[in-house]
């Protein structure tokens, strides 16, 4: 498998390099936010620790979207542009949960990388994500998700791989992206007004100075 990808700009590049508990990328439609998030996690997989059992590095990403309609019409096609479904093992049907498992060698050894695609819809978050044990999470269009989704996912990171078999993950996090949300959206308080330590917001300016963009959005 050969994948070539270049950051669409300096803000996306800084987002790729960041290693916080939460890294969020805000920007306009068509700015490459989804692909940047997906490839950030693939990069994190290459930085993982080899299993003491077999030397393989393992990483599982949980991708969460508001509805299956949006997941299949937007998020999954963005992933398929870089990693087609006939690469590795793809399971899952249209408008349902899906999993993509791939194996690749980055020159330092074998990596097993999994992407679990889920949507919340009208379900409670516990029902929608029950049984999903991941290394890290990516909340796509996070402003459309309820605050409880973020809270639930933050409490269930670093659960893959099985520590008793393959050791602790080297690093895990939650990333997210969104267009500029409304002032009453939970993301405004969480990431702009009073961000906790190691919660970082990256703003793609779309031709504006970042601070001017924020003042226009909020």
**Distance between CA 95 and CA 90 in Å, rounded?**
14
The stretch 137-157 carries a mean pLDDT of 96
Confidence of residue 216 (pLDDT cuts 50, 70, 90): very low
The backbone torsions φ and ψ at residue 172, rounded to the nearest 5 degrees and listed phi first, read: -150, 155
What 31-37 contacts at long range (C-beta under 8 Å, 24+ apart), as own/partner pairs, is 31/204, 31/206, 32/8, 33/177, 33/178, 33/204, 34/74, 34/75, 34/78, 34/140, 34/177, 35/5, 35/78, 35/81, 35/82, 36/7, 36/8, 36/12, 36/177, 37/138, 37/140, 37/175, 37/176, 37/177
The stretch 210-217 carries a mean pLDDT of 45
Task: State the average pLDDT for the chain.
Answer: 90
pTM of the model: 0.91
Looking at per-residue pLDDT, the higher value among 210 and 163 belongs to 163
Query: Is the predicted pLDDT of residue 218 greater than 50, yes or no?
Result: no
Are residues 176 and 22 in contact, defined by beta-carbon separation less than 8 angstroms?
yes
Read off the pLDDT of residues 22-77 as tens digits, 9 standing for 90 and up: 999 999 888 889 999 999 999 999 999 999 999 999 999 999 999 999 999 999 99
Query: Is the predicted pLDDT of residue 93 greater than 70, yes or no?
Result: yes
- Which two structure tokens, joined as six digits, stand for 37? 């998030």
Other Cβ atoms within 10 Å of 3 Cβ, number: 11
Residues with Cβ < 8 Å from 198, sequence gap 6 or more? 20, 21, 22
DSSP state of 50: P
For residue 138, the Cα-to-chain-centroid distance in whole angstroms is 2
Lowest mean pLDDT among 58-62, 97-101, 159-163, 203-207: 203-207
Query: Is the predicted pLDDT of residue 150 greater than 50, yes or no?
Result: yes
């Amino acid at each position: 498998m050969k994948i070539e990808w270049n950051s669409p700009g300096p803000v996306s590049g800084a987002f790729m390099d960041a290693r916080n508990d939460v890294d969020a990328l805000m920007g306009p439609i068509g700015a490459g936010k989804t692909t940047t998030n997906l490839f950030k996690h693939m990069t994190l997989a290459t930085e993982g620790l080899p299993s003491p059992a077999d030397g393989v590095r393992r990483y599982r990403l949980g991708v969460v979207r508001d509805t299956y309609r949006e997941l299949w019409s937007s998020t999954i096609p963005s992933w398929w542009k870089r990693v087609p479904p006939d690469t590795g093992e793809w399971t899952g049907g249209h408008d349902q949960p899906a999993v993509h498992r791939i194996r690749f060698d980055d020159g330092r050894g074998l990596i097993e990388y999994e992407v679990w695609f889920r949507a919340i819809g009208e379900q409670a978050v516990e029902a929608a994500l029950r049984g999903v044990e991941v290394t890290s999470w990516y909340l796509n269009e996070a402003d459309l998700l309820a605050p409880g989704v973020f809270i639930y996912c933050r409490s269930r990171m670093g659960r893959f791989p099985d520590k008793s078999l393959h050791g602790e993950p080297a690093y895990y996090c939650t990333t997210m992206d969104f267009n500029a949300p409304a002032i009453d959206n939970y993301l405004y308080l969480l990431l702009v007004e009073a961000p906790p330590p190691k919660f970082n917001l990256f703003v793609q300016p779309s031709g504006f100075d970042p601070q001017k963009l924020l003042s226009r959005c909020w």
